Amino acid sequence: MACDPFNCNNNPPPPAPDYNKAAQLQGTENRETSLYNAQTNNPNINNPYGSQRVTWNGNVPTITQEYSPDQQSIFNQQNQGKLGLAQLGNQGVDSLRGVVGKGVDFSGQPTIPQSGSVSQRVIDAMQSRVLEDYARKRDEANSQMIAAGLRPGSKGYDDAMQLIQRGENDAKQQAVLAGYDQGNKAFTQDAQTRAMSLADYYSARQTPLNEITALMSGSQVANPFTISGYAPTGNAQAAPLFGATQATGDWNTGIYNANTANNANMQQGLFGLGAMGLMAMSDRRLKSNIVRLGDHPLGIGWYAYDIFGQRTEGVMADEVLTVRPEAVALHPSGYYMVDYGRLA
């Protein structure tokens, strides 16, 4: 059956991409790539500290680390040392039973120093002597001035008594200053005594706690197995299957659109030539439903057929070539045309 260049299946529409399948394949590719990266990034390692082995049970890895003999011996000794410290710490717990939870007792410590009482005692002691001395001085001065004819109320008498009073005031002031000085010294000494006593008390109370703390936070068991000598240069990326499927669909659609446009252009050219009445497309490949009706005077067949969506009659170009080739021309599309004017 001949092919109508506008309706034949030489340019069928491309099938729609199976995006669901592409997504599933992409997921599988992603998982396989992830497993590949996990395997390449977890190699078996040997170094002076020991070895590391990675085994796989399906997608589940198991990492096994082993010390070298020397490192294993160090590790065992450290564990024994920590065990010994822990045992000593447990022994020290008994010594804490009488300390932890017991209130702090300051009843046996020196009292808080008070400087005021000391200062007052010094002031009182010094001023009692000043009062006694200046009372005697006033009596003596009074007797002497009266014997000299100076009576109370006179200027000489009053000046002499004011001088004695001034001396008494100065002596009292000195007594106050001395009292404050002695009070401060006494306060400093008492405070130092109390501080030393409290330090001894706290030391006795905290010593068991410090011992336990030292034992429990002593030398820790360190893991010398630090293997970090492998550094992957990068991770493999999964093949972009989904994107490739989408790009392929776009490419096929583009080719289909281009072919359809070319066929449309060819159709326009063929109809144009047919409309001129000079030559007609008569290529057997363009015709369908061919029925021989009889013979042409040139001895070739005369046919009825469908072409370009129409039912018509005519000759076959390939038969015309055998009897009158000058009446046949080749269209740029590759199909034969017949000049019916030359067939008369």
| pLDDT, tens digit (0-9, with 9 covering 90-100), for 49-78 | 889 988 988 878 898 998 989 888 998 988
Domain count, the chain: 1
Q: Give the global pTM.
A: 0.33
Is 92 part of a structural domain of the chain? yes
pLDDT of residue 320: 97
Instruction: Return the SS3 of 290.
Output: strand
Handedness of CA 54, 62, 55, 53 (dihedral sign): positive
* pLDDT > 60? residue 272: no
Cβ distance 329 to 318 under 8 Å?
Answer: no
Domain range holding 131? 50-226
pLDDT of residue 118: 72
Is 192 part of a structural domain of the chain? yes
Q: Which range, 51-60, 236-245, 316-325, is most confident?
A: 316-325
* pLDDT > 60? residue 180: yes
pLDDT of residue 311: 96
pLDDT band for position 226 (50/70/90)? low
Contacts of residue 118, defined as CB under 8 A and 6 or more positions apart, other chains included, come to 179, 182, 183, 186, 187
pLDDT of residue 261: 62
Is 31 part of a structural domain of the chain? no
In this prediction, residues 257-272 reach a mean pLDDT of: 56
Is 28 part of a structural domain of the chain? no
Contacts of residue 172, defined as CB under 8 A and 6 or more positions apart, other chains included, come to 127, 130
Looking at per-residue pLDDT, the higher value among 251 and 11 belongs to 251
Cα torsion 111, 117, 121, 123 to 10°: value is 140
pLDDT of residue 2: 40
Is 235 part of a structural domain of the chain? no
